[in-house]
Amino acid sequence: MKTIGFVGGMSWESSLEYYRIINEKVKEELGGFHSAKCLMYSVDFEEIEKLQRQGKWDEATDLMIDAAQRVEKGGADFVVFCTNTMHKLAEHVQNSINIPLLHIGDVTAKKIKERGLKKVGLLGTRFTMEEDFYRIRLQEKHGLEVIIPDEGERQTIHSILYSELCMGEIKEISKEIFQKIIENLVAKGAEGVILGCTEIPLLVKQEDYEIPLFDTTTIHARAAVEYALE
């Protein structure tokens, strides 16, 4: 079993889910008393969020490189960022370490294509929805058509993520807002929807929808175990 190196804390609520899911997956695969060989370096999200808000991505890159190098030095065989948004920096980080970085977009795209879908909606922070690092990767590397909510909806999603879900708050009214936004994506032709922020699955559940939802937290965590057990 390879040792998984997690970079977490963005936020710690979703990092907690990563730890739970990977160990459930290891037990599912190996049985008995097996659990995952892993280590985590958890950043202070206050520092990261401030740099995101101020657009200081070079400084954020330095922090993520430092975190990835720490788990590499700790003995990790590969790195997993417990976040979608910070994959904006994935290429720079990968070039600064000597072990693989398991990209959340790639493993999510694989699951989408396994379902035979071509056109998907994308929910996440405004960075994930609006910038090229995620959408363009899905389109150019994996041949998927990606649609995003309208500008006002994107701002609402971003606000709910940072003011509520990253703070551990789950509100019924916000759940209803997400339901309406997903309905609008379906009306635009979405065959499935990517929950492209690791906090969204804390609020949005597959059992509430007929359309396939792609929970990136679960997909990424389980893919990490599959990679570790190859």
Report, as residue numbers or ranges, the catalytic residues: 83, 197
Structure tokens at 202: 């804390």
- Listing DSSP states for 186-216 in one string gives HHTT-SEEEE-STTGGGT--GGG-SS-EEEH
Whether 157 contacts 181, CB under 8 Å: yes
Q: Which of 135, 175, 130 is nearest to 154 (CA)?
A: 130
Whether 17 contacts 52, CB under 8 Å: no
**Helices and strands counted in the chain (H then E):** 10, 7
